[in-house]
Amino acid sequence: MKYKIMAVLTPLLVVIDQWTKYVILKGFKLGESIPVISGLFNITYVRNTGAAFGILATAPPFIRIPFFVVIPVLAMVAIAYVFRKIPAESIRLSAALSCVVGGAVGNLIDRLTLGYVVDFLDFHWRYQHHFPAFNAADTVICIGVGVLVLDLLFHEEPTPQGALPDVS
């Protein structure tokens, strides 16, 4: 079951991410913004040459470019290793890891083809306090990581049949 989830969810998330970015690239000029919820949320075309939230955006290209190609590839190798270890019936962990991979692939495609990541989800408080713009790939990465963290914090090991639970 876990391989079916990965095989369906990961490409679906990459397609959604790339489609939303295509719509932004074709329909917006750089910096153009359309209010969706006044004082709270805009669609704004931003180019992000850095990592999440613009981290390392000002680093020299000879550091930034290899870093943003090597790190996602290493992360996907690590995820593949972890993915092989999770139980075959683990829908939650399979979906979470698929989200992280799908998002990483979506942003990696941008970096390799454009040299930057297209961001457009712009949340702010009354146009004064802006959360850094992000995209669909960033969203699914955060969802996947959030599910993984929650699973680590709250996952209970099943009690073997016939055994008493540990109450110490």
Q: Provide CB contacts within 8 A for 7, sequence distance 6+.
A: none
| R_g of the chain computed on alpha carbons | 19
Catalytic residues: 119, 138
Residue 47 is encoded by which pair of tokens?
């180019």
Give the distance, in angstroms, between the CA of residue 70 and the centroid of all CA atoms in the same chain: 16
- The contacts of residue 92 (CB under 8 Å, 6+ apart) are 147, 151
Q: How far apart are CA 132 and CA 150, in angstroms?
A: 24
